[in-house]
C-alpha cells in the first residue's frame, strides 16, 4: 500500500516529528521519529504505531494555502496515546503539497476500510441476533 510522508511541529517549534503513514490490512500504520528543530541531534529513535481501524471513526484531508493536513478521528483517546501530538481523539498530520494526491487517495481508502469494518460488524451482529431468534 502507498505511504504518505508527514510532519508535525512540537513544543512550539522546538521539536518536530517526521514520519510516514500508510494503510495496512486492518489498521493505519504510523512510523516516525522526533528530533529537536535546532541541530537535529536529539532524536527519539524510530517508533511505530499500529492503529486498528475499529478505533477510528473517520479521516479527512484539510486543505489550505498554508499546507494540507490528514486528520484522523478516533472513538477513544487510547487510539493515539503513543503518538506525541494528539488531542481530544484527533490526530493532525502535516502533508506537503506535492503529496496531496497521495494523501487524498489514502484518506479515501482509510474511510472505505472503516466503512467495510462497520458493515462487517453490523452483519456479524445481525447474524448473532438471527441465531438467537431461531
Where along the chain do its domains lie?
Answer: 3-124
- Across 80-134, the runs of DSSP E, i.e. the strands, are 86-87, 90-95
Cell output for 17: 516529528
Quickly state the pLDDT bin for 6 (edges 50, 70, 90). very high
Quickly state the pLDDT bin for 8 (edges 50, 70, 90). confident
Structural Rg of the chain based on CA atoms: 17
pLDDT digits (tens, 9 = 90+) for 66-125: 889 999 999 888 888 888 766 788 999 999 999 999 999 999 999 999 999 889 888 887
Residue range 3-124 forms a domain whose CATH class is: mainly beta
- Cβ atoms of 36 and 14 within 8 Å: the answer is yes
The helix/strand/coil state of 100 is helix
Higher pLDDT, residue 35 or 106: 106
Residues 6+ apart with CB under 8 A from 121: 54
pLDDT value at residue 132:
47
Higher pLDDT, residue 129 or 124: 124
Cell output for 38: 535546532
List C-alpha distances in Å: 112 to 46, 51, 64, 101. Answer: 29, 16, 24, 17
Residues of the chain with pLDDT > 70, as a percent, come to 86
pLDDT value at residue 14:
79
Amino acid at each position: 500500500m502507498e505511504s504518505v510522508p508527514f510532519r508535525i511541529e512540537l513544543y512550539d517549534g522546538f521539536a518536530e516529528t517526521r514520519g510516514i503513514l500508510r494503510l495496512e490490512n486492518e489498521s493505519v500504520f504510523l512510523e516516525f521519529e522526533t528530533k529537536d528543530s535546532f541541530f537535529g541531534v536529539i532524536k527519539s529513535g524510530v517508533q511505530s504505531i499500529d492503529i486498528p481501524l475499529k478505533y477510528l471513526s473517520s479521516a479527512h484531508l484539510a486543505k489550505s494555502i498554508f499546507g494540507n493536513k490528514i486528520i484522523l478521528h478516533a472513538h477513544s483517546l487510547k487510539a493515539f496515546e503513543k503518538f506525541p501530538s494528539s488531542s481530544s481523539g484527533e490526530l493532525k498530520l502535516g502533508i506537503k503539497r506535492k503529496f496531496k494526491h497521495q494523501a487524498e487517495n489514502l484518506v479515501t481508502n482509510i474511510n472505505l476500510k472503516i466503512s467495510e469494518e462497520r458493515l462487517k460488524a453490523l452483519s456479524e451482529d445481525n447474524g448473532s441476533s438471527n441465531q438467537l431468534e431461531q
